C-alpha cells in the first residue's frame, strides 16, 4: 500500500512551499514530479496519481508558490517556480525525475529542464500553453485582459504595501470539484461562475494570480530545442491551441505529440486516456535506459 505525506519547505525569501509525496510500492522505481497549472493546486493530480499504474512510483506534487498552501505574493515568475521545484527535489534526494505538467505547469516543466537538463529523465507536457499557437480568441482576450490586469496588479500591490491584504483564501479539492463542475459548464455564465479568474482569485492573492498569468506570456519555452524524451498530449477538443498538429513548435522529431479526446480540462475529461499514454511512453523509456531511481 502506498501512503501520502504533506511536507513543507521554507525558501530563503520566507515563502513556505507545500507539497505532497506519495510513497512508492517499488523503492527502485523512478520518481514522478507533477506540476499544476495557473490558479490550481496539487489536488488537480490527485485522482490521476492514485491510478494503479502509477502506484509503484514515488510521486511528488507541489503547490506552486502563490497557489494552494504555498501562499505568497513574492518571487512569482518562471525561474521562481523552477527554483522552488529544484529545492524540493534536492530535499527529497530525487535524481532525474519524470516531470509532468499541465498548461502553465507544462511550461514550468520545460523551464526546470532548461535550467538543469542532466537532472531530468523525461517530460510529459499536457496541453502546454504555446503562445505561438494560441487560438485567435485567446490572443484577443489577452490583448484586452493584459492591460486591465496590469492596472489591477498595480492597485493590488499598492493596497498590499499599505497593509490591506487578504489573509484567508478558499481551498478547493479539485479531485472532487472537477467532476462536479464539468457537467455544469454548458453555457458562458456558468463558465464564468465556476471556472476561470473569478474562481482562481478566491483561492490566491490577486498580485500572485496576475504574476502567474504573466508567466504564460512572458516565459517562452524553447520548444524546438528540447532534447529530453518528451510526450506532448494535445486536446482534440481544446479551446486553447489552434491545432492538434501540423506546424506548431512541438511537431518535430524527438517529441511524441499525441492528440487525446478531451477539452483543455484533460485531467477531468479523459483521465484514463492520459494514464494510457503515460504508460505507453514510460514503457518506451524503460526499453531505452536502465529503469531505476
Which pLDDT score is estimated for 186? 78
pLDDT on residue 242: 64
Residue 95 lies in a domain: yes
User: Comparing 192 with 227, which gets the higher pLDDT?
Assistant: 227
- Calculate the dihedral angle through the C-alpha atoms of 147, 148, 154, 157, rounding to the nearest 10 degrees: -130
At 18 the pLDDT is: 98
Provide the pLDDT confidence category of residue 284 given band limits of 50, 70 and 90: very high
Q: For 231-261, how does the pLDDT look when each residue is reduced to its tens digit (9 = 90+)? A: 999 998 877 776 544 457 888 888 999 999 9
Of all helices (H) and strands (E), which one includes residue 288? helix 271-288
Which residues make beta-bridge pairs with 124? Answer: 100, 231
In this predicted structure, what is the pLDDT of residue 188? 66
pLDDT tens digits, one per residue of 146-182: 888 888 888 888 888 888 889 899 999 999 999 898 8
Give the model's pLDDT for residue 247.
Answer: 57
Is 72 domain-assigned? yes
Write the pLDDT tens digit of every residue in 71-112.
Answer: 999 999 999 999 999 999 999 999 999 999 999 999 999 999
Determine the pLDDT at residue 79: 97
Residue 40 within a domain: yes
Residues in the chain: 293
**79 lies in some domain:** yes
The domain that holds 49 is classified in CATH as: 3.40.50.1820
pLDDT of 2:
56
Among positive and negative, which fits the CA dihedral 232, 103, 132, 243? Answer: positive
Residue with cell 511537431: 251
Sheet containing strand 16-22, edge to edge, reads 4-10, 16-22, 58-62, 31-35, 98-102, 122-126, 230-235, 255-260
In a domain, 281, yes or no: yes
Range of the domain at 52: 4-134+213-288
Percent of the chain with pLDDT over 90: 63
Number of domains within the chain: 1
Report the candidate in 127, 144, 102 with the shortest Cα–Cα distance to residue 242: 127
Is residue 145 situated within a structural domain?
no
Packed helices 206-218 and 78-91: angle between N→C axes, nearest 10 degrees:
100
Domain for residue 280, yes or no?
Answer: yes
pLDDT of residue 236: 87
Examine residue 237 and state whether it is found in any structural domain, yes or no. Answer: yes
The pLDDT of residue 244 is 47
| Average of per-residue pLDDT values in the chain | 90
Q: What percent of the chain has pLDDT over 70?
A: 96
Amino acid at each position: 500500500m502506498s501512503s501520502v505525506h504533506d511536507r513543507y519547505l521554507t525558501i530563503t525569501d520566507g515563502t513556505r512551499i507545500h507539497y505532497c509525496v506519495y510513497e512508492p510500492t517499488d523503492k527502485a522505481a523512478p520518481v514522478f514530479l507533477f506540476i499544476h497549472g495557473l490558479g490550481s493546486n496539487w489536488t488537480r493530480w490527485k485522482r490521476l496519481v492514485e491510478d494503479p499504474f502509477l502506484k509503484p512510483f514515488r510521486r511528488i506534487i507541489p503547490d506552486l508558490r502563490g497557489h494552494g498552501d504555498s501562499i505568497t505574493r513574492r518571487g512569482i515568475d518562471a525561474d521562481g517556480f523552477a527554483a522552488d521545484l529544484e529545492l524540493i527535489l534536492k530535499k527529497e534526494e530525487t535524481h532525474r525525475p519524470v516531470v509532468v505538467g499541465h498548461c502553465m505547469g507544462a511550461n514550468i516543466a520545460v523551464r526546470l529542464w532548461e535550467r538543469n537538463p542532466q537532472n531530468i529523465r523525461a517530460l510529459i507536457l499536457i496541453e502546454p500553453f504555446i503562445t505561438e499557437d494560441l487560438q485567435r480568441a485567446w490572443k484577443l482576450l489577452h490583448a484586452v485582459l493584459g492591460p486591465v490586469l496590469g492596472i489591477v496588479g498595480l492597485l493590488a500591490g499598492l493596497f498590499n504595501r499599505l497593509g490591506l491584504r487578504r489573509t484567508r483564501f478558499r481551498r478547493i479539492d479539485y479531485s472532487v470539484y472537477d467532476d462536479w463542475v464539468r457537467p455544469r459548464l454548458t453555457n458562458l455564465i456558468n463558465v464564468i461562475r465556476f471556472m476561470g479568474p473569478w474562481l482562481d482569485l478566491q483561492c490566491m492573492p490577486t498580485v500572485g494570480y496576475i504574476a502567474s498569468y504573466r508567466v504564460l506570456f512572458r516565459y517562452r519555452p524553447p520548444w524546438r530545442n528540447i532534447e529530453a524524451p518528451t510526450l506532448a498530449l494535445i486536446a482534440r477538443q481544446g479551446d486553447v491551441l489552434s491545432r492538434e498538429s501540423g506546424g506548431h513548435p512541438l511537431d518535430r522529431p524527438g517529441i511524441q505529440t499525441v492528440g487525446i479526446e478531451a477539452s483543455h480540462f484533460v485531467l477531468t475529461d479523459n483521465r484514463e486516456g492520459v494514464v494510457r499514454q503515460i504508460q505507453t511512453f514510460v514503457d518506451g523509456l524503460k526499453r531505452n535506459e536502465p529503469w531505476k531511481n
